[in-house]
Each structure stands twice: as structure tokens, then as C-alpha cells.
């Protein structure tokens, strides 16, 4: 990700709390803005992992799980069209749509070093933890003939310690994200492997 400071800490409007696009509306934005299938897949994978985490680990109700899913699905929506302005364009679009500020803040804080916005809610901290690792694990799956089948956590941890493997994935970001949550790296890796493999 390139550095694009958002230079603000408030996103969306408090009175828009509870306003969510439907998953179909979010998919429409994705299909309009993202033509690269691999990038689309990345967002769908992060969305699936976020939704599953909300339901399984946070006992989220349907509306809350949808928020987590939407944040995942849209977090990189402007990356392909506006790489220099990522993620301010999707934020502007969601503000125009009066989307719930928690979703917008979550997207704004998915790369604190790049956007200058600190993750605060649990949803913010989890998207930060999942984002890079999800891409890393998918890169690992692509070089295995059996893809996700039989993939084990240890081999992923080992690859993380190998700087030449998927070198574009910033290990400092992963370590920083992990330091902000209570779960272990092993738990997060296992959760991602389990929940993103069926996503197409
Ligand atoms: Fe991003
Ligand atoms: Fe991402």
C-alpha cells in the first residue's frame, strides 16, 4: 500500500449509525470498481473471514456480522482505480451513501502506517490483523498443488519467517496488527485457512 494520510479522525456521521448497504449493493460497487479477479477475491476472502469471526468469536447478531462483512468486502474497493488515493475514495463514496460510521472507520484504519488512522474498535483491529495475513496465506495456497487442502499452520508461520517468500507482504504490519489483539498468530492463521478456502 502506498502512503496516503487521511488527515482526519472522524469518519461518517453519528446519525448514520445503523445504515448499511445490502451485500448486493456492496458487490455492485466491487464489480464496478475492481476488474482484477485476484483483487476481488482478496476482498471476498477478507469479508468471509471477518463475517465468520464476528459470528463465531464475537457472538455478533446478523446486523453486526453484516457490518464486519461489508468492511471486509469494501476495504480495498478503490485500490485498483485510485491507488494513490487508497482508501479515501471508497470512504467518500460510503459517506455519500450515509453508511454507518463504524464501517467507514474500520476501512480507514486498515493500514495505520499508511493512512494515519489508528484501529480502535474490535472490528478495526481484526481487519488489520486479517488483511495482510489473508493475502499471504492465499499466496502460499497458490504455490501448493493441493492449494488449501492439508495446509498447516506451522508451514505458514515458517514462511512468514522467510523474508523472500511473498516479500511484498510487510511482516512489520503483521506483527503490529498482532500486538493489538489478544489472539495468537497461530489462532488467526488457522482461522483464515479454515474460512477463506471456500471463497471463490
Ligand atoms: Fe488496503
Ligand atoms: Fe486488503
- Splitting the chain (200 residues) into consecutive groups of 10 residues, what average pLDDT does each group show? 90 98 98 98 98 98 98 98 97 98 98 97 98 98 97 98 96 98 98 96
Question: Which residues have CB less than 5 Å away from ligand 2 (the ion)?
Answer: 76, 131
Provide the CA 71 distance to its chain's centre, in angstroms.
Answer: 7
Any idea which ligand is nearest the CA of 39? 2
Distance 37 CA to ligand 1 centre (A): 16
Distance 124 CA to ligand 1 centre (A): 13
In a domain, 8, yes or no: no
Asked if the structure places residue 129 within a domain, the reply is yes
- Predicted pLDDT at 3: 87
Give the helix ranges, DSSP H, for 36-170.
37-57, 62-74, 88-96, 101-108, 112-115, 122-142, 153-160
Residue 187 is inside which H or E element, if any?
helix 185-196
Question: DSSP assignment, residue 85?
Answer: G
Examine residue 3 and state whether it is found in any structural domain, yes or no.
no
Q: Is 21 helix (H, G, I), strand (E, B) or coil?
A: coil
Handedness of CA 187, 30, 61, 92 (dihedral sign): positive
Distance 126 CA to ligand 1 centre (A): 14
63 CA to middle of ligand 2, Å? 22
Is the residue at 133 inside a domain?
yes
- Cα of 141 vs centre of ligand 1, distance in Å, is 21
Whether 146 is in a domain gets the answer yes
Ligand 1 centre and the CA of 1: distance in Å? 6
Ligand in nearest proximity to the CA of 43: 2
- Confidence at residue 82, expressed as pLDDT on a 0 to 100 scale: 97
Spatial separation of the C-alpha atoms in residues 75 and 40, rounded to whole Å:
11
Q: 27: how many CB neighbours lie within 10 A of its CB?
A: 17
* Centroid of ligand 2 to alpha carbon of 54 (angstroms): 18
Task: Confirm whether 4 is domain-assigned.
Answer: no
The answer to the question of residue 7 being in a domain is no
Please report whether residue 136 resides in a domain: yes
Containing structural domain, residue 63: 14-196
The number of folded domains in the chain is: 1
Distance, CA of 153 to CA of 6 (rounded, Å): 35
Amino acid at each position: 500500500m502506498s502512503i496516503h494520510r487521511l488527515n482526519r479522525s472522524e469518519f461518517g456521521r453519528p446519525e448514520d449509525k445503523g445504515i448499511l448497504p445490502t451485500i448486493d449493493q456492496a458487490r455492485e460497487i466491487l464489480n464496478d470498481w475492481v476488474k482484477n479477479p485476484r483483487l476481488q477475491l482478496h476482498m471476498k476472502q477478507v469479508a468471509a473471514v471477518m463475517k465468520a469471526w464476528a459470528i463465531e468469536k464475537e457472538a455478533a447478531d446478523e446486523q453486526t456480522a453484516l457490518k464486519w462483512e461489508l468492511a471486509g468486502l469494501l476495504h480495498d474497493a478503490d485500490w485498483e482505480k485510485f491507488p494513490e488515493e487508497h482508501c479515501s475514495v471508497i470512504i467518500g463514496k460510503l459517506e455519500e451513501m450515509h453508511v454507518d460510521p463504524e464501517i467507514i472507520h474500520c476501512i480507514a484504519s486498515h493500514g495505520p502506517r499508511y493512512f494515519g488512522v489508528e484501529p480502535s474498535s474490535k472490528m478495526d483491529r481484526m481487519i488489520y490483523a486479517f488483511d495482510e495475513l489473508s493475502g499471504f496465506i492465499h499466496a502460499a495456497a497458490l504455490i501448493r498443488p493441493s492449494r488449501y487442502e492439508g495446509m498447516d499452520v506451522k508451514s505458514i508461520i515458517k514462511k512468514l519467517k522467510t523474508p523472500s517468500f511473498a516479500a511484498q507482504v510487510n511482516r512489520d504490519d503483521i506483527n503490529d496488527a498482532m500486538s493489538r489483539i489478544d489472539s495468537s498468530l497461530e489462532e488467526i492463521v488457522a482461522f483464515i485457512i479454515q474460512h477463506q478456502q471456500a471463497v471463490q
